[in-house]
């Protein structure tokens, strides 16, 4: 008979990756990247390697006042960004608006009217309704771009499903919504993915920042690729001989390439998601799913009488109740230890989920589950970044990173630094980008205005 510890280990073992496995994942992703970049194989590639029209990073001569919009998670942000020549950072003011689920899953017109409405409120507040500013739109979903200001949505991800937007140019939908109101005007110059915005924002402080990464509600990366390697590029091939490629790596595994690594819990998450069969790599990594993975593992452990004396609670049995932020909070105390006498964070969280019968030993097991799930995420992201770094072959490269999981998890950065170090020979620096995606959209806009000679 296996001991309790052995049974727990058996459940968690599939989440634990050694170096060989990580190297293997890197190889698989590298193959997909090549497939995505080549004209002939791109249609079957899961990792679409979307060419953006961003080809230059800020050179420090940009300046002016810009508006930026940031849509990609459960909050929508409007920003006013002031860029000064030569500055290592920008000045900004912004407001955040929650997007009700009814808007995320309603009609496209409702969604864009809501966006325009928030913009109107913001411009009124900062008293800039009469000033026509250039605008950068961070739209964090997979898009096929036909120009810097033209992007048709390929598919929704991350809980969005607003009808009538897939296949449409989101810049046109935004312009139409602004026109429908008629009380302010802007000049939409650029639409960018959040990974691109993040990379650009960090590029201001470090010119070697040529990779952008998001580990938040969703996950994705972009990097600067040589045009010669981008067969799918349809724009002009003049200087600069490079373009930022939005990988859309979240879709990796949609063809079964990760099937041997997926656990029963990963399959269950997918089964109950609104985009079944899609975004397989993302579902193993990002914040939208991390807490739910932990919940599913805990349910199985309860069933096997390994935790909570075999008794669940109605909350633990309800999807979505184990929030991803709990994973960070619980792992924080792995090192600080739970305070003696007072109830520690893990116990408090378990009590809030109706598990009043949890013991100190259970708290330890819950922490172990959180660590296994979040460590696997950090390992998968590190394998992804290392595949990019090795493909680029540079001696030094910086990665601009944003997203709630990376920002708030107590060990994610450290784990990534250690793992990337083992998987590459390059000097890789991870840079946290504060407000990167919105700021970056303004910077892309500023660069475009500079290149057009009208900044």
Q: Which residues bind ligand BGC (CB under 6 A)?
A: 72, 140-142, 157-158, 193-195, 214, 216, 218-220, 248, 250, 282
Out of 194, 266, 362, 402, the active site residue is: 194
Structure tokens at 254: 């949609």
Q: How far apart are CA 362 and CA 307, in angstroms?
A: 6
CB of 286 to ligand BGC, least distance (A): 7
Q: Which residues of 62-86 are buried (b: 16+ CB within 10 A; e: fewer)?
A: bbbebbbbbbbbeebbbbbbebeee
Which one from 48, 70, 113, 158 is the annotated catalytic residue? Answer: 158
CB atoms within 10 A of CB 144: 15
Please spell the DSSP secondary structure of 272-308, one letter per residue.
TSTTTTS-HHHHHHSHHHHHHHHHHHHHHHHHTTSSG
Q: Determine the number of helices (DSSP H) and then strands (DSSP E) in the chain.
A: 15, 13
In whole angstroms, how close is the CB of 361 to ligand BGC at the nearest point?
37
CA distance 293 to 284: 9
Decide: residue 98, CB within 10 A, 0-12 exposed, 13-18 middle, 19+ buried.
exposed
Closest CA to 197 of 402, 385, 455, 394: 402
**What is the nearest approach in angstroms of ligand BGC to the Cβ of residue 288?**
8
Angle between helices 19-37 and 360-392 in degrees, nearest 10? 50
Nearest-angstrom CA–CA distance, 417 and 103: 38
Classify each residue of 360-386 as buried b or exposed e, where b means 16 or more C-beta atoms within 10 Å of its C-beta: eebbebbbbbbbbbbbbbbbbbbbbbb
By C-beta, is 195 or 365 nearer to ligand BGC?
A: 195
Closest CA to 148 of 449, 455, 400: 449
Min dist CB 341 to ligand BGC, Å, is: 42
Cβ partners under 8 Å of residue 439, min gap 6: 68, 79, 81, 90, 92, 197, 200, 201, 433
Taking the complex as a whole, the smallest distance from the CB of residue 374 to ligand BGC amounts, in Å, to 17
Rounded distance between C-alpha atoms, residue 296 and residue 369, angstroms: 10
State yes or no: is 158 an active-site residue. Answer: yes
Contact of 26 with 387, CB cutoff 8 Å? yes
Q: Note if 194 is an active site residue.
A: yes
Q: How far apart are alpha carbons 367 and 294 in whole angstroms?
A: 10
Instruction: DSSP letter for 240, please.
Output: S
**CB 140, min distance to ligand BGC, A:** 4
The Cα 354–Cα 85 span in angstroms is 55
Closest approach of Cβ 245 to ligand BGC, in Å?
12
Q: Which is nearer to ligand BGC, 17 or 249 (CB)?
A: 249
- Residue number with the smallest Cβ distance to ligand BGC: 218
Question: CB of residue 257 vs ligand BGC: minimum separation in angstroms?
Answer: 17
**Residue 100 burial (10 A CB sphere; 0-12, 13-18, 19+):** exposed
- Measured CA to CA, the distance from residue 3 to residue 303 in angstroms comes to 15
Catalytic residues: 158, 194
């Amino acid at each position: 008979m296996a001991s309790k510890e052995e049974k727990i280990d058996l459940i968690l073992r599939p989440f634990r990756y050694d170096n060989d496995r990580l190297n293997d994942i890197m190889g698989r992703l590298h193959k997909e990247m090549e497939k995505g970049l080549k004209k002939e194989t791109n249609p079957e590639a899961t990792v679409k390697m979307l060419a953006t029209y961003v080809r230059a990073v800020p050179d420090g001569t940009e300046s002016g006042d810009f508006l930026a919009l940031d849509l990609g998670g459960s909050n929508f942000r409007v920003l006013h960004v002031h860029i000064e020549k030569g500055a290592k950072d920008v000045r900004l003011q912004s407001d955040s608006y929650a997007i009700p689920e009814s808007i995320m899953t309603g009609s496209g017109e409702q969604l864009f009217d809501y966006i325009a409405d928030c913009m109107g409120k913001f411009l009124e507040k900062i008293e800039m309704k009469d000033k026509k500013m250039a605008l950068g739109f961070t739209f964090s979903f997979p898009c096929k771009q036909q120009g810097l200001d033209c992007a048709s949505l390929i598919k929704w991800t991350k809980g969005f499903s607003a009808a009538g937007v897939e296949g449409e140019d989101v810049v046109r939908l935004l312009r139409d919504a602004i026109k429908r109101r008629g009380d302010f005007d802007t000049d939409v110059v650029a639409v960018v993915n959040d990974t691109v915005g993040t990379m650009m924002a960090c590029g201001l402080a470090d010119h070697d920042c040529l990779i952008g990464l998001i580990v938040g509600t969703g996950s994705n990366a972009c990097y600067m690729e040589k045009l010669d390697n981008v067969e799918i590029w349809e724009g002009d091939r003049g200087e600069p001989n490079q373009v930022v490629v939005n990988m859309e790596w979240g879709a990796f595994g949609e063809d079964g390439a990760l099937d041997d690594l997926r656990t029963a819990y990963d399959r269950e998450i997918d089964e109950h998601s609104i985009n079944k069969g899609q975004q397989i790599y993302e579902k193993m990594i990002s914040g939208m799913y991390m807490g739910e993975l932990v919940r599913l593992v805990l349910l199985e452990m309860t069933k096997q009488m390994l935790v909570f004396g075999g008794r669940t609670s109605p909350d633990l049995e309800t999807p979505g109740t184990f929030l991803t932020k709990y994973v960070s909070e619980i792992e924080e105390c792995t090192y600080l230890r739970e305070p003696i006498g007072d109830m520690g964070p893990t116990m408090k969280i378990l009590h809030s989920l109706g598990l009043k019968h949890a013991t100190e030993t259970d708290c330890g097991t819950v922490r172990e589950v959180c660590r296994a799930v979040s460590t696997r995420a950090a390992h998968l992201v590190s394998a992804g970044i290392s595949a990019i770094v090795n493909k680029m072959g540079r001696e030094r490269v910086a990665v601009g990173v944003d997203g709630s999981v990376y920002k708030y998890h107590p060990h994610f950065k450290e784990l990534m630094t250690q793992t990337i170090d083992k998987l590459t020979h390059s000097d890789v620096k991870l840079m946290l980008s504060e407000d990167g995606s919105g700021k970056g959209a303004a910077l892309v806009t500023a660069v475009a205005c500079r290149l057009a000679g009208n900044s």
